[in-house]
Amino acid sequence: MLLDQLPALIGVVVGSTASYATQNLTERRKWKRQREERWDEKRFETYGRYANALKAQLRIAQRIGAAKGFTDVADPADPAEWLPLLAEAESRRAEEWESVLLVGDAATIAAARRWHETIWTIELLVREGTVDNAKWTKAHQLASAARDAFYVSSRRDLGIAGAPPPSGEWPRPWRVELSE
């Protein structure tokens, strides 16, 4: 009698095992997909905050530079008032940097590091105070190229298809056109 029921019992055991394995595999895939989506969101937010912190730092340095006589920048700002703001912007950038180090891939971290190093160069020109417009222009061109590389790398890391945003040109084309 037990022998007669053995095929049915084996069928139940095999079916239950297969059902459990399938459900377990499905749940693992779902969990992994949700985890990847959360990390993608976190990386997106982190990269965005970092880029915004660098842009704010650059804008402060540019405004101080305009007051000191560097070209191609509007809205001069009093260095005595704005140098402390520049230091605060650097502190904010440094805080955001730690998040980039935590969630970024190696290529994006390298691109982010290169970008903030180019911003430091612009800061140094402002802090040194001697106006050398050729160095100023070159520093901005390097910063623009570093920014582009950061966006290419971060977009790749985030799986964003399509071309990155158009490259910024320094000096701005419309400024060059006006001076011709």
How many CA atoms lie within 13 Å of 43's alpha carbon, on the beta-carbon side?
Answer: 22
What does the pLDDT read at residue 175? 65
* CB-CB contact of 164 with 151 (8 Å): yes
Structure tokens at 50: 């970092």
| Tens digit of pLDDT at every position of the chain (180 positions) | 667 777 777 777 777 787 777 787 777 776 777 667 678 899 999 999 999 999 999 999 999 999 999 988 889 999 999 999 999 999 999 999 999 999 999 999 999 999 999 999 999 999 997 889 999 999 999 999 999 999 999 999 999 988 887 777 767 676 667 666
47 exposure class (CB count in 10 Å sphere: 0-12, 13-18, 19+): buried
SS (H, E, C) 2-70: HHHHHHHHHHHHHHHHHHHHHHHHHHHHHHHHHHHHHHHHHHHHHHHHHHHHHHHHHHHHHHHHHHHCC
The token pair at 140 is 């901005």
pLDDT score for 23? 80
**H/E element, 164:** none
Report the half-sphere exposure of 120 (CA within 13 A, side-chain side).
10
pLDDT in the model for residue 180: 66
**Cis peptide, bond prior to residue 173, ω within 30 of zero:** no
Match 């799986």 to its residue by tokens.
159
Residues with Cβ within 8 Å of residue 123, at least 6 apart in sequence = 57, 61, 86, 90
Q: For residues 150 and 32, is the Cβ–Cβ distance under 8 A?
A: no
**What pLDDT does residue 174 have?**
66
pLDDT at site 41:
92
Question: Looking at residue 156, what is its pLDDT?
Answer: 94
To which residue do tokens 């989506």 refer? Answer: 37
State the amino acid at position 70 in one-letter form.
F
Length of the chain: 180
